[in-house]
Amino acid sequence: MIEYAENPDKTTAKEYLDDDLYNALSYVENDDKTDRQIYVDTINCSKRNAYGEMVAVQKRFGSRGDIVAWHGFQSFAEGEVTPDEAFEIGKETARRMWGDKYQVVITVHLNTDNLHCHFVVNPISFKDGSRFQNKIYNHRRLREISDDVCRERGKSVLEHSNFYGGKSRRAYWAEKKGHPTHRDMLAKDVEYCLSVSYTRKTFYQQLRGLGYEIDETRMSVKGKGWERAIRLRGIGFTDEVIDRRLNRNYSYGYSFVGQVWNTHPPKKRRSVLLFYIAHDLGYNIEHSRDVAEIYIDLLFLIVINAFQIIKEVKDAVIISVELRHAVKDFQQFIHDYNFLREADIHTFPQLDRYIESTQNKIQELERERSLLRNKIRRETDPEVLADNRTARSEITKNHIEPLRKNLDRAKRIRDKSPHLYNLVRQEFEMEAPYRQLDRNGKMIFKDAPDKGAR
């Protein structure tokens, strides 16, 4: 696995931007962990001054940025390698992985039962100034090289193991970002359904009431919009676990209530959450069939309010499985809504005009930057040359990069909003049997016929 060191404060003066690189190198070269630095070596830089030489390369190519070093590690099975063997394997792995272009510090740490190597990699190539791309294919390549070196030396590797730890690629990265996955949210829903059920029938009724499709033979559950179903045993709910929980609930019904629960699961009023929020905002989705008339800022506001309410109000619920699981994007929705509000964007035509205008601004700035680049190539006066380089850098960092960031967000909103709109419409339709308006336009809530749903 590779992680990175980031500067905690991007406003810090440049002369102090070396702290993370220094700390990373200090950590991997720690005397107590490396047997007083016996197991420390370098590639493409000197062991005595690796820090200074890495910084020099970064300054030489003008690439001092957020990421000042990449940190990788390599672990071995307990008791399988000696420190010397681990050190040789680590050096050979680093040499094959980065040795042609990058500076690397390699160490072996002896402070745990499992010997392991650490690598600190300068992200800027000493050869041509290119930046190391810490992409998933490079993670795979590092693992493949490590496995090859270990096999050559008769050491064990994890054969046929899933690179994502048994998870799908989407689930792996969602977990890395701290986002709940379908599996996480399904597990919570199953936990709730088990807590209010005492037979398989009532358990299935509760799951269907939350909008899931159930294959009772395979014991798998699928939400609308999911590519595939999830087996309950795959998230920890085996037949034995389910039956044990249901039997316990059944016995509690006798012990503490004195009678068996009713044949229907505990009833709760169906949600009309989105309709309530939209009605309060004066937003009528029934009049928004034309895409050009959809107020996308209000669409985001409705969803944000709904997610906030279900976090704070126990009985509040979103009926649609897919919309309920979109809560994983809650923070992104907030950022998108704030962006739309600050840019004074309300409709799709306004969003399209913003995208076109931003693209034109970027093109104009790129032409201005190109003129400066040509001047730099011809300039001989050191002071003028420095001024032009500073101006070029300011155009990139202070103007082009923020505009590109906003452009990417605007394009993503344009591409994703129609799907979010369809989910909201679907939720409105599912709420329809549970609400109505009186003659004065006041909302009336009502109970729909019980169909074994929550």
Q: Is 150 domain-assigned?
A: yes
**Whats the size of the chain, residue-wise?**
454
Cα–Cα distance, 450 to 174 (Å, whole number): 36
Other CB atoms closer than 10 Å to residue 383's CB: what's the count? 8
Integer CA distances (angstroms), 284 to 188, 279, 294, 389, 431, in order: 32, 7, 10, 54, 14
Which of the residue ranges 99-103, 146-150, 189-193 would you say has the lowest mean pLDDT? Answer: 189-193
Is residue 32 located within the same domain as residue 68?
yes
pLDDT of residue 342: 93
Last residue of a domain, one of 107, 127, 161: 161
pLDDT of residue 5: 35
Is residue 404 located within the same domain as residue 305?
yes
pLDDT of residue 177: 54
The 10s digit of each residue's pLDDT in 386-399 is 888 888 889 988 99
Closest CA to 123 of 65, 47, 74, 40: 65
Quote the domain boundaries for residue 240. Answer: 182-257
Name the band, by pLDDT with cuts 50, 70 and 90, for residue 79: confident
Q: Is 96 domain-assigned?
A: yes
pLDDT score of 249 more than 50: yes
Closest CA to 414 of 348, 332, 334: 348
Strands 104-109 and 67-75: unpaired
pLDDT of residue 7: 34
Other CB atoms closer than 10 Å to residue 233's CB: what's the count? 15
Dihedral sign of CA atoms 447, 450, 453, 454 in order: positive
Which of the residue ranges 67-81, 109-123, 309-323 would you say has the lowest mean pLDDT? Answer: 309-323
pLDDT score of 451 more than 50: no
Is residue 16 located within the same domain as residue 95?
yes
Highest mean pLDDT among 159-168, 396-405, 435-444: 396-405
pLDDT score of 253 more than 70: no
Amino acid found at 219 = M
Is residue 389 located within the same domain as residue 301?
yes
pLDDT score of 97 more than 90: yes
Mean pLDDT (the chain) is 76
pLDDT score of 361 more than 90: yes
pLDDT score of 419 more than 70: yes
Integer CA distances (angstroms), 296 to 209, 284, 299, 328, 352, in order: 29, 13, 5, 19, 12
Which of the residue ranges 106-120, 229-243, 347-361, 416-430 would you say has the lowest mean pLDDT? Answer: 106-120
Q: Is 265 domain-assigned?
A: no
Q: Is 70 domain-assigned?
A: yes
Closest CA to 169 of 157, 181, 159: 181
Is residue 44 located within the same domain as residue 146?
yes
- Provide the CATH number for the domain around residue 86: 3.30.930.30
The average pLDDT across 160-183 equals: 56
Q: Report pTM.
A: 0.50
Q: Is 417 domain-assigned?
A: yes
Q: Is 452 domain-assigned?
A: no
pLDDT of residue 108: 85
Name the band, by pLDDT with cuts 50, 70 and 90, for residue 340: very high
How far is Cα of residue 431 from the mean position of the Cα atoms in its chain? 31
pLDDT score of 98 more than 80: yes
pLDDT of residue 447: 44
Radius of gyration of the chain (CA): 29
Is residue 224 located within the same domain as residue 344?
no
pLDDT of residue 159: 66
Q: HSE (CB half, 13 Å, CA atoms) of 173?
A: 4
Last residue of a domain, one of 257, 289, 319: 257
pLDDT of residue 399: 92
Phi then psi for residue 288, to 5 deg, are -115, 40
Name the band, by pLDDT with cuts 50, 70 and 90, for residue 444: low
Closest CA to 283 of 310, 306, 314, 317: 306
The average pLDDT across 371-398 equals: 87
- Give me the number of domains the chain comprises: 3
Instruction: Write b or e for each residue in 197-208: b if 16 or more Cβ atoms lie within 10 A of its Cβ, otherwise e.
Output: bbbeebbbbbbb
Dihedral sign of CA atoms 73, 76, 82, 87 in order: negative
Name the band, by pLDDT with cuts 50, 70 and 90, for residue 136: confident
The 10s digit of each residue's pLDDT in 258-311 is 344 443 444 344 467 777 787 777 766 654 555 556 788 888 988 888 888 877
Is residue 221 located within the same domain as residue 359?
no
The 10s digit of each residue's pLDDT in 7-49 is 333 323 333 334 445 555 555 455 554 444 567 889 998 888 8
Q: Is 6 domain-assigned?
A: yes
Catalogue the long-range contacts made by 54-57 (C-beta closer than 8 Å, 24 or more residues apart). Answer: 54/21, 54/103, 54/122, 55/18, 55/21, 57/103, 57/122, 57/124, 57/125, 57/126
Last residue of a domain, one of 101, 127, 161: 161
The average pLDDT across 315-329 equals: 77
Highest mean pLDDT among 8-12, 52-56, 333-337: 333-337
Is residue 44 located within the same domain as residue 85?
yes
Percent of the chain beyond pLDDT 70?
A: 72
Q: Is 264 domain-assigned?
A: no
Which of the residue ranges 29-33, 65-69, 339-343, 432-436 would you say has the lowest mean pLDDT? Answer: 29-33
Is residue 30 located within the same domain as residue 130?
yes
pLDDT of residue 405: 93
Cα–Cα distance, 219 to 186 (Å, whole number): 13
Is residue 148 located within the same domain as residue 11?
yes
**Are 109 and 33 spatial neighbours (Cβ–Cβ below 8 Å)?**
yes
**Are 101 and 95 spatial neighbours (Cβ–Cβ below 8 Å)?**
no
pLDDT score of 381 more than 90: no
pLDDT score of 344 more than 60: yes
Is residue 72 located within the same domain as residue 121?
yes
Cα–Cα distance, 34 to 352 (Å, whole number): 58
Cα–Cα distance, 240 to 247 (Å, whole number): 10
**Which comes out higher in pLDDT, residue 39 or 204?**
204
Is residue 54 located within the same domain as residue 190?
no
